[in-house]
Structure 1
Amino acid sequence: MRRAVCPGSFDPVTLGHLDIVARASRLYDVVHVAVMVNTSKRGLFDVDERIALIEECTAEYDNVIVESFHGLLVDYCKQREIPAIVKGLRAVSDFDYELQMAQMNNGLSGVETLFIPTNPVYSFLSSSLVKEVAAWGGDVSHLVPGPVLDALRGRLDRR
């Protein structure tokens, strides 16, 4: 069985993230979406909310599993016998950082990293940008799926 993981903070999950997950789901038998737990950062959505949103947005894929992880990604992979990490690349600047991570992960555990170029439609897209635009009342409906848009509006209206 071919298994891979798509890791990230997904705060919030965007259409760019979902494009990578969808493409990975066509290449692998099982795709784990690993939501990073970073206790030193306070996100807009907590980990359980992010997991629920991703599960709702990936429900059409019967081979996608969404869960959280804390610690080294290679340990997550080892515990689940996952030999590959799938990452989306938006620009050359992403490649610089991601290549170093891929080489470190491979050196630590032998886990391979597959880079998928981002769909050009999403080449500028990041969760941080979505949060900033939404916080200022900008329209992000073309950048996030409906459930995320609703959650963003609900969260930002309460602020």
Structure 2
Amino acid sequence: MVSFTGEYVQKIDGKGRMSIPADFRRVLEGHDPDWAPGANPGLYLLYGEHLKNCLHVYTVAAFRQIAQGIQAMPQGAPQRRIASRLILGQSVRLDVDKDGRVVMPADQRAKLGIAEGEVRFTGAGDHFEIWENQTFANTIAAEVEAFLAAQGEDFDPLSLLQG
């Protein structure tokens, strides 16, 4: 099972280089069928407008499953066309270099509103998200605060797992 967990703040330089957290690199390696010790793992960066203020990153194996699911949809179906455009058309494969970094393309940096500075990687189980750090703080803090206020003082997040 793929499991990206935790939050990490990393710097991104003016050329778009950023270091992938070591824990995330291990997951990427383990789920890249072409990876071997000494090689660099790949990843898929999704950047569509439907993602709002963040980018999603999937392992090579997970993205292949997603692509197969789209291709299994009926040819000519509107859902297939939209899924293809939003997912396959708005994704890019990147390779992690020997230093554990990737170069985020300029268009994707522009989507996040960053030229350089800090980005936040946040685990989401089967993928991880990349946010401009301050946007994450503002967006997620408000979202979590509103949710917790609606739940009451004794809320236990593990209760969400119980049907």
| TM-score when normalising by structure 1 | 0.24
Between Structure 1 and Structure 2, which shows a larger proportion of strand residues? 2
Which structure is higher in RCO with an 8 Å CA cutoff and minimum separation 6? 2
| TM-score when normalising by structure 2 | 0.24
Between Structure 1 and Structure 2, which shows a larger proportion of helix residues? 1
